[in-house]
Amino acid sequence: MAAARTVRVIVTLKPGVLDAPGQAIQKGLDALGHGGVQTVRTGRYFEIELDDDDRLEGRVREMCDGFLANTLIEQYRYEIV
């Protein structure tokens, strides 16, 4: 079995794309009395373990561009641990 690497991917809406769930969560925080919350932006977090090889980063980008993120409206960042 090939050695495994852990990749952490975070997908968020692009800046400027209105985040309706984020706004609802912000209102919820307000309602609970958490003052001073200026914005809430939501997103998704993925922890992926995959075989290590010299194409690892390229493979991660392919996964993100083609599936994990919809790059029309979303952006992603990742770290390879």
Partner 1 sequence: MNVGIVVFPGSNCDADAYHAVRDVLGRHAQYVWHEERSLKGLDAVVLPGGFSYGDYLRAGAIATTAPAVRALRPYVERGGLVLGICNGFQTLLEAGLLPGAMLPNLSGEFRCEFVDIRTERADTPFTCALEPGDVLRIPIAHAEGRYVTGDARPAIAAHRQVVFRYCDPAGAVTPESNPNGAEDGIAGVASVSGAVLGLMPHPERACEALLGSADGLRIFESLDRWIATGRTLGAQAAEVH
Residue from 5, 10, 23, 80 in contact with partner 1 (CB under 8 A): 23
Is 29 a binding residue for partner 1 by CB under 8 A? The answer is no
Is 30 a binding residue for partner 1 by CB under 8 A? The answer is no
Pick the stretch among 1-9, 19-27, 33-41, 55-63 that binds partner 1 (CB under 8 A).
Answer: 19-27
Q: Is the Cα torsion angle 36, 12, 15, 73 positive or negative in sign? A: negative
Is 9 a binding residue for partner 1 by CB under 8 A? The answer is no
